[in-house]
């Protein structure tokens, strides 16, 4: 079988890894890398023994598929140029900045009948893959995604940068339309929101609490699901899945502490997890990395013209929900009234003290 001719467009922080991984695939020929910063393109091309370009034009007619890893604002124009020419596209998340742009890419991929995959990489986290294989119908979901400020992806805020991962995962787990979204957030460094909490209510009654912050000292990426089938907790960083379900005995007879002997009640705390609630720690396969799995999946979809696990439609749906969260963040009234502070750029001013200010040597402070 001939090698798939591929290129990576945008080889910054993430794109350089796309290039490295694609260059290492025996069934792929990395035809080139493109970056508007030509020094950047050249350095990454040299590392991967391929050609450097500072625009996409020279690649037309020379590639069978591309990976688009530019800043989000350029996803739509760059991916569109390739889809219109019948070239399959893997585009990083979020698919685009607006739902209208996403719709256009979806229409172009459909017209050309080629795969369009969106880089919601957590779908390839082995712990999430393990969960997705199980029949779970969530009633309540809690998702947390915290990271330190990197200074990257400043063309978007925490919702389109981070929260969108969890919005996509939640939509893939909950088979119901969104009924209502409440949210609030703050823009600490200006520009866009850096910290957001959202409450999403589905028609099915399922509720999701989602928090994203890109100004946290420590990274944390967790998803917890409560369902009639049991509880599932994922730590995306360690790729661990914990499952808990009610034991057969308790399903049949219930658990009534009032009808227990004193001796039974005394051991209840120790017996709870294990005897009454069965616990399984699922060791997901951690041999490979997620980005390789995601790119391998895309290559297979292109070769066999299959529908990707994360389609353009999935990317659009996550984006549409993200925009509902952003609208709710913009409308949040911090003092409960439209006359007060409203939206992410308008936190209430500091007032009152939780403890006395530390004493400052004013002469020293002024000298500094
Ligand atoms: P980055 O700023 O480090 O890199 C982007 C690169 O694209 C830069 O080198 C820039 O010079 C280049 N570029 C800009 N406009 C271009 C254009 N029109 N044509 C060609 N090159 C262009 O950004 P990043 O952190 O690598 O993020 C890139 C994309 O990947 C963003 O959409 C981001 O949301 C996404 N991302 C996804 C994940 C994930 O977990 N899936 C993680 C990080 C970033």
pLDDT tens digits for the chain (368 residues)?
Answer: 699 999 999 999 999 999 999 999 999 999 999 999 999 999 999 999 999 999 999 999 999 999 999 999 999 999 999 999 999 999 999 999 999 999 999 999 999 999 999 999 999 999 999 999 999 999 999 999 999 888 777 778 999 999 999 999 999 999 999 999 999 999 887 688 999 999 999 999 999 999 999 999 889 999 999 999 999 999 999 899 999 998 888 888 888 888 888 888 888 888 888 888 899 998 877 777 999 999 999 999 999 999 999 999 999 999 999 999 999 999 999 888 898 888 998 877 778 888 888 877 666 656 65
Q: Which two tokens stand for residue 48?
A: 């991967």
| CA of residue 231 to ligand 1 center, whole Å | 36
Per-residue model confidence (pLDDT) at position 50: 98
Kindly provide the residue ranges of all beta strands, DSSP E only, lying in the chain, ordered along the sequence: 4-9, 28-34, 51-53, 65-68, 89-92, 116-119, 140-146, 178-186, 195-202, 207-213, 220-227, 230-235, 240-246, 277-283
| Residue 248 CB coordination number (10 Å) | 9
The response to whether residue 119 sits with its C-beta less than 6 Å from ligand 1 reads: yes
Give the Cα separation of 59 and 53 in Å (integer).
9
The response to whether residue 67 sits with its C-beta less than 6 Å from ligand 1 reads: no
Residue 335 exposure: Cα atoms within 13 Å on the Cβ side = 9
Rounded to the nearest 5 degrees, what angle is found at the Cα of 289, between the Cα atoms of 286 and 291? Answer: 145
| CA of residue 13 to ligand 1 center, whole Å | 7
The response to whether residue 19 sits with its C-beta less than 6 Å from ligand 1 reads: no
The response to whether residue 34 sits with its C-beta less than 6 Å from ligand 1 reads: yes
**DSSP H or E stretch at residue 84:** none
| CA of residue 7 to ligand 1 center, whole Å | 14
Could you write out the three-class secondary structure of 197-238?
A: EEEEEECCCCEEEEEEECCCCCCEEEEEEEECCEEEEEECCC
Phi-psi sector, 263: left (phi>0), alpha (psi -120 to 50), beta: alpha
The response to whether residue 35 sits with its C-beta less than 6 Å from ligand 1 reads: yes
The number of the ligand 1 atom at minimal distance from the alpha carbon of 34 is: 20
| CA of residue 92 to ligand 1 center, whole Å | 8
Q: Which two tokens stand for residue 269?
A: 């705390």
Per-residue model confidence (pLDDT) at position 10: 98
The response to whether residue 9 sits with its C-beta less than 6 Å from ligand 1 reads: yes
The response to whether residue 117 sits with its C-beta less than 6 Å from ligand 1 reads: no
The response to whether residue 4 sits with its C-beta less than 6 Å from ligand 1 reads: no
The response to whether residue 301 sits with its C-beta less than 6 Å from ligand 1 reads: no
Atom 43, ligand 1: residue with shortest CA distance: 14
| CA of residue 339 to ligand 1 center, whole Å | 39
What b/e readout covers 115-149, taking b as 16+ CB neighbours within 10 angstroms?
bbbbbbbbbbbbbbbbbeeeebebbebbbbbbbee
Report pTM: 0.92
Ligand 1 mutation target, pool 9, 11, 14, 221, most atoms within 8 A of CB: 14
Q: Which two tokens stand for residue 190?
A: 């200006």
The response to whether residue 310 sits with its C-beta less than 6 Å from ligand 1 reads: no
The number of the ligand 1 atom at minimal distance from the alpha carbon of 150 is: 25
Per-residue model confidence (pLDDT) at position 274: 81
C-alpha distances in angstroms, 350 versus 215, 346, 347, 353, 354?
A: 19, 12, 9, 9, 11
């Amino acid at each position: 079988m001939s090698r798939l001719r591929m290129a990576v467009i945008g080889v910054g922080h993430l794109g350089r890894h796309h290039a490295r991984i694609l260059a290492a695939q025996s069934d792929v020929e990395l035809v080139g890398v493109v970056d508007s910063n030509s020094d950047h393109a050249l350095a990454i091309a040299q590392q991967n023994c391929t050609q450097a370009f500072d625009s996409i034009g020279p690649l037309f007619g020379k590639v069978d598929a591309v990976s688009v890893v530019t800043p989000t604002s350029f996803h739509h124009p760059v991916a569109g140029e390739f889809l219109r020419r019948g070239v399959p596209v893997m585009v990083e998340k979020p698919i685009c900045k607006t739902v209208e742009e996403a719709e256009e890419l979806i229409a172009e991929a459909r017209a050309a009948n080629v795969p369009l995959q969106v880089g919601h990489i957590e779908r390839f986290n082995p712990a999430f893959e393990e969960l997705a294989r199980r029949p779970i119908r969530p009633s309540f979901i809690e998702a947390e995604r915290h990271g330190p400020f990197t200074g990257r992806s400043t063309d978007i805020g925490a919702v389109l940068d981070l929260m969108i991962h969890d919005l996509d995962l939640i939509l893939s787990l909950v088979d119901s339309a969104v009924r209502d979204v409440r949210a609030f957030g703050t823009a600490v460094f200006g520009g866009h929101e850096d910290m957001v909490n959202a409450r999403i209510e589905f028609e099915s009654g399922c509720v999701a609490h989602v928090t994203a912050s890109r100004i946290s000292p420590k990274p944390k990426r967790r998803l917890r699901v409560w369902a009639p089938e049991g509880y599932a907790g994922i730590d995306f960083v360690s790729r661990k899945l914990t499952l808990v379900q009610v034991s057969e005995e308790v399903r049949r007879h219930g658990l009534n502490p009032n009808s227990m002997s004193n001796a039974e009640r005394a051991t209840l705390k120790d017996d709870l997890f294990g005897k009454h609630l069965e616990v399984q720690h699922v060791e997901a396969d951690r041999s490979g990395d997620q980005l390789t799995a995601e790119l391998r999946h895309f290559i297979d979809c292109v070769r066999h013209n299959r529908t990707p696990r994360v389609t353009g439609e999935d990317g659009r749906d996550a984006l549409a929900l993200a925009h509902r969260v952003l609208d709710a963040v913009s409308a949040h009234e911090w003092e409960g009234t439209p006359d007060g502070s409203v939206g992410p750029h308008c936190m209430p001013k500091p007032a009152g003290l939780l403890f006395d200010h530390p004493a400052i040597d004013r002469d020293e402070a002024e000298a500094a």
